[in-house]
Amino acid sequence: MFRISHFQLYCILLLLVGPVAFLETPNILIIHLGCNAWLAAIGAIVPGILLAAMFQYIIKKSSQPFPLLLEEHLGKILGKILGFLYILAFLLASSFTLRLFVDFIVTNVLPQTPISVFIGVLLLVGFVAIKSGLENLARCCELVVILGLPFAFLIFLAAIIENWNPGNLLPFARMDLTSFSLGLSSCSYVLGKMLPVLSLAFFCPRQKKIRQVMLLVIFSYVALMLATTLATLMTLDTTMSNIATFPTFSTIRLLHIADFIQNIDIVFIGIWILGVFGSVSIPWFMACYTTQQLFALKDYRFLAAPSSLIIGVFSILMSKNIMELLAVSMHIIPLLYSFAFILLPFLLFLLTLFKAYPESETLAEPEAKAESSA
């Protein structure tokens, strides 16, 4: 059976929601809300807490980990159909993250390098991580968060102090309800990617603490989005932020600390690549694990090789260039993620509201069942 600690679960969930949003969400918020984009980042706390409560309730009412809990609550046929759809959703999430990483590197760092090189390298690293098992993948995520999260907060705190200009945040709260709703949804739908907690929670001790872990992830995510958005607005203002393809990276590239610490963007890219490794590998693992559970296979690791080909092809076919990818990111990905990671779990949550608790079950029994299924 898999065994991970609560801190490792925190690191895994944070890498699911953090690295991609770290790069693109501030830009989307500024497009919708201008100088008030940071208000939507704060507002994401509310839907995040609701999502955490929803996932926790589903875990509490389930005796088996995802995807088997789909069959438990929906029946075998419908559960397997939805499980197969989730395999595609996880593969799509990995493919999109991989393609965003590749286009960012090609556009801003190594423009002469073929995208196939970056795709191949990251897929190779992810393949090795998945073959090594969930425990080793969790340790890698733990190391990435320990190194990357403090650096991210420090670098954007330095950007805010260096470019302190509160005037770029004015006029305050001058926005319409539609714009705020779009900004809030753009910042909040990402938190639905915590859905793998429906599986991972069964591999942690003391499931009652899972909600605290999710809340810590949400507050970390909101704090990161708030710091990133404020730093971007103060450094570039709304006009330059709308022009830049990746204003977060432009903010870091312009940062000079005390006129002698420069080229911080090099360190940022190195740390961010580690985060992208987690963002690609974890949904990839979930696709393999879900396939194993649905088809009652002995192991999931041999699925890493064929699924890597699917992810690679998906990432190449996803768009022709960076502009198409940004359009997909703004208009298509939010809808797909919201449907798969928020709407369907919400319908499952409504169903479990009317499902009676088995009186004989305790929190220890789901862990035993998870052990037999793993």
What's the CATH number where 40 sits? Answer: 1.20.1740.10
pLDDT, tens digit (0-9, with 9 covering 90-100), for 264-319:
888 888 888 889 999 999 999 999 999 999 999 999 999 999 999 999 999 999 98
pTM score, two decimals?
0.91
Angle at 142 between CA 131 and CA 293, to 5 degrees: 40
Domain limits at 213?
A: 6-373
Q: Are 19 and 93 in contact (CB under 8 A)?
A: no
Task: Tell whether 149 is covered by a domain.
Answer: yes
Q: 60 Cβ partners below 8 Å, 6+ apart?
A: 207
pLDDT at 358 over 60: no
The angle subtended at Cα 30 by Cα 274 and Cα 54, nearest 5°, is 65
What's the structural domain count of the chain? 1
What does the pLDDT look like over 245-261, one tens digit per residue?
888 888 888 887 766 67
Taking only the tens place, the pLDDT of each residue in 65-95 is 999 999 999 999 999 999 999 999 999 999 9
1 within some domain: no
Q: Are 227 and 372 in contact (CB under 8 A)?
A: no
Report if residue 315 sits inside a domain.
yes
